[in-house]
Amino acid sequence: MSGPPPAPYGTYPGAPQGGGFAVPGQGYPAPSYPPPTGAYPPPAGAYPPPAGAYPPPAGAYPPPTGAYPPPTGAYPPPTGAYPPPAGQPGYAPQYLPPSPQGGYPSAPQPGFGAYPPPAGPPPVGYPAGGYAPPPGPAPGAYGVEAPQVYYRGEILINNPRFPGGIQKYDGVERDVDAILTHKSKKQLIDLMVNLGPIKMDAVSQEFQMHHNNKKRLTLLQWIEKECSGDLEAGLCGLALGPLKYDAHLIKLVSSDAGDLLNELILDLSLFDINLLSYTYQQMYGKNLSTAIQTKLDGGARKLMTLALQTERLVLPDASTQNPGQLAIDDAQALYKAGAGRMGTDESKFHTILTSRTAPHLSQVCREYHSRQKKPLTKAIDSEFGGLERKALMHIVRGCEVDVHHPELDPAALRDAYMIEKTMEGMGTRERVLVMRLIRAHWSRARLDRIKAAFPFASNNSGHRHLRERVVGETSGNLKELCTALVGGGM
């Protein structure tokens, strides 16, 4: 590939810089669930989803020159991703109706709004619906929900639409008791970080009625009573689990920090957006797209609105006869919409970047660089401004392979850079650091990719590893939380 290398990460304003979250206070949604009255076994063929739809492991970026990225389903699963819990039949949360005085969001009805889960874990890192739904009925289709599904590509969670309730696992009472009787904040942190999303839902369900919980507090209420500040926010995030935590963060994002929405929305698949929209409606009684539109304006609002449309076509799909030619056409269309004309056709950028798969966008970036002798990110940097530029940069940075480190997952390198930015300069942005580490830790494979990329993140002087950097920038309970989330090793 000829031409200059992409601009280093430190030269573009594409990552959120500050806090942007409201103080947690009493703003957490209800954590409790109904008891598992005869929770169903998994529908035949619905659990677990078959493996084989993961992205390439670290070291496989980019595909060989001239080769088109493998189709969905062609990748081996990453090592370290959370497997379905051994010995635990599938289960999923049902949300309790609000108590008259509680003000909690209303509950979905059993069997409400059945749409099938994907046939397996979808590819990771797809921008705003970046994978086409599998053709034909998936396991658990025809109105029957699978008990567990994959969120954000590789995080196994309980399906909020599954009507069978949450089942206990062996040892749940012991785990609840250990939380209630913890001897130190470090012990409490380690207990909660190591539970994982599936067990955490069962713990939340059992917590209120446990014999040692004399005040009958929910898990979130208990955390609010026991902890404060960033530790409270972090442990409540863990208690909510991946899907409800994302919905909660969207609710908390202030209008002057709309760029934080990029990492909460723009990497999601169509299936993910359906799950998140459903959950947001149940928790807050509001439409997700409408809620997000109130936090943005201008081009950023138009882009995000398009990204949240779950009915749009995502290419390439099974009907695409020549994906390689489509990548060439898209690269040319982006040039003609930006650097190749007077003014900028913003809608063309919005449409292409929110309606293509991540592997396809990687190919588009290569084609653009090859033809224009500069990276697509540089074109976006010169053609756009403000939140719109940051949103487009987020999508493209997650797909554009770094020519200096082609072995690294570009999305992991982007995410490592954003984590580094929270610790850069005077003062650490603790709340955003905690948010990013929590969202990374739910997928062991994704966290490993971020840790591998972190020494190469811009402005990381000395190429320090993530754990070393976190230890040097935090203290007290925050350090205990962050190092537990990062884990051992790098």
Burial class (CB in 10 A: 0-12, 13-18, 19+), 474: buried
Does the pLDDT at position 86 exceed 90?
A: no
Q: Please state the rounded mean pLDDT for residues 45-63.
A: 38
Residue with tokens 């509001």: 286
Structure confidence at residue 428 (pLDDT): 78
Q: Please state the rounded mean pLDDT for residues 84-113.
A: 31
Does the pLDDT at position 1 exceed 80?
A: no
Structure confidence at residue 453 (pLDDT): 96
CA–CA gap between residue 165 and residue 39 (Å, rounded): 5
Say what angle helices 358-372 and 323-337 make with each other, to 10 degrees.
60
Start-to-end Cα distance in the chain: 31
Q: Reduce the DSSP state of residue 119 to 3 states and report it.
A: coil
Task: Quote the pTM value.
Answer: 0.75
CA–CA gap between residue 289 and residue 307 (Å, rounded): 9
Structure confidence at residue 339 (pLDDT): 92
Task: Give 53's DSSP letter.
Answer: B
Yes or no: say if 419 and 15 are a contact pair by the CB < 8 Å rule.
Answer: no
Structure confidence at residue 461 (pLDDT): 63
Q: Please state the rounded mean pLDDT for residues 31-47.
A: 38
Beta-carbon neighbour count of residue 336 at 10 Å? 12
CA–CA gap between residue 79 and residue 68 (Å, rounded): 24
Residue with tokens 């884990």: 487
Task: Give 148's DSSP letter.
Answer: E
Which stretch of 82-91, 424-433, 450-459, 468-477 has the lowest confidence by average pLDDT? 82-91
Residue type, 239: A
Please state, in angstroms and as integers, the Cα–Cα distance from residue 182 to each residue in 123, 177, 186, 188, 192, following that order.
39, 8, 9, 6, 11
Does the pLDDT at position 28 exceed 50?
A: yes
Does the pLDDT at position 115 exceed 50?
A: no
Does the pLDDT at position 245 exceed 60?
A: yes
CA–CA gap between residue 465 and residue 14 (Å, rounded): 22
Select the more confidently predicted residue: 427 or 485: 485
Q: Please state the rounded mean pLDDT for residues 160-169.
A: 91
Q: What is the C-alpha radius of gyration for the chain, rounded to an integer number of angstroms?
A: 22
Yes or no: say if 351 and 306 are a contact pair by the CB < 8 Å rule.
Answer: yes
Structure confidence at residue 257 (pLDDT): 81
Residue 154 Cα to chain centre, angstroms: 10
Residue type, 219: L
CA–CA gap between residue 8 and residue 375 (Å, rounded): 11
Residue 295 Cα to chain centre, angstroms: 19
Closest CA to 297 of 386, 382, 377, 384: 386
Yes or no: say if 24 and 236 are a contact pair by the CB < 8 Å rule.
Answer: yes
Beta-carbon neighbour count of residue 195 at 10 Å? 20
Degrees to nearest 5, angle at CA 247 with 274 and 488: 105
Structure confidence at residue 128 (pLDDT): 41
pLDDT tier, 490 (very low <50, low <70, confident <90, very high otherwise):
low
Q: What does the mean pLDDT of the chain come to? A: 78
pLDDT in tens, 297-309: 999 999 999 999 9
Q: Reduce the DSSP state of residue 156 to 3 states and report it.
A: strand
Beta strands in 185-341 (DSSP E): none
Buried b (16+ CB within 10 A) or exposed e, 373-410: ebbbbbbbbebbeebbbbbbbbbbbbbbbbeeeeebbb
Yes or no: say if 245 and 438 are a contact pair by the CB < 8 Å rule.
Answer: yes
Residue type, 260: L
Residue 44 Cα to chain centre, angstroms: 29
Q: Please state the rounded mean pLDDT for residues 409-432.
A: 92
Structure confidence at residue 143 (pLDDT): 62
Q: Please state the rounded mean pLDDT for residues 236-246.
A: 98
Structure confidence at residue 373 (pLDDT): 96
Yes or no: say if 356 and 315 are a contact pair by the CB < 8 Å rule.
Answer: yes
pLDDT in tens, 342-397: 889 999 999 999 999 999 999 999 999 999 999 999 999 999 999 999 999 999 99
Does the pLDDT at position 119 exceed 70?
A: no
CA–CA gap between residue 201 and residue 307 (Å, rounded): 29
Which stretch of 74-78, 119-123, 181-185 has the lowest confidence by average pLDDT? 74-78
Write the CB contacts of 110 (distance below 8 Å, at least 6 apart in sequence). 94, 163
Sign of the alpha-carbon torsion through 227, 230, 235, 240? positive
Does the pLDDT at position 140 exceed 80?
A: no
Yes or no: say if 315 and 355 are a contact pair by the CB < 8 Å rule.
Answer: yes
Select the more confidently predicted residue: 489 or 253: 253
Structure confidence at residue 488 (pLDDT): 80
Select the more confidently predicted residue: 4 or 425: 425
Q: Bridge partners of 155? A: 151
Q: What share of the chain is helix, strand, coil (3-state, %, to 5)?
A: 45, 5, 50
Structure confidence at residue 426 (pLDDT): 75
Q: Please state the rounded mean pLDDT for residues 107-133.
A: 37
CA–CA gap between residue 222 and residue 393 (Å, rounded): 40
Does the pLDDT at position 4 exceed 60?
A: no
Q: Please state the rounded mean pLDDT for residues 61-90.
A: 35
pLDDT in tens, 187-216: 999 999 999 999 999 999 999 999 999 999
Yes or no: say if 30 and 104 are a contact pair by the CB < 8 Å rule.
Answer: yes
pLDDT tier, 29 (very low <50, low <70, confident <90, very high otherwise):
low
CA–CA gap between residue 399 and residue 420 (Å, rounded): 19
**Encoded tokens for 336:** 């003609």
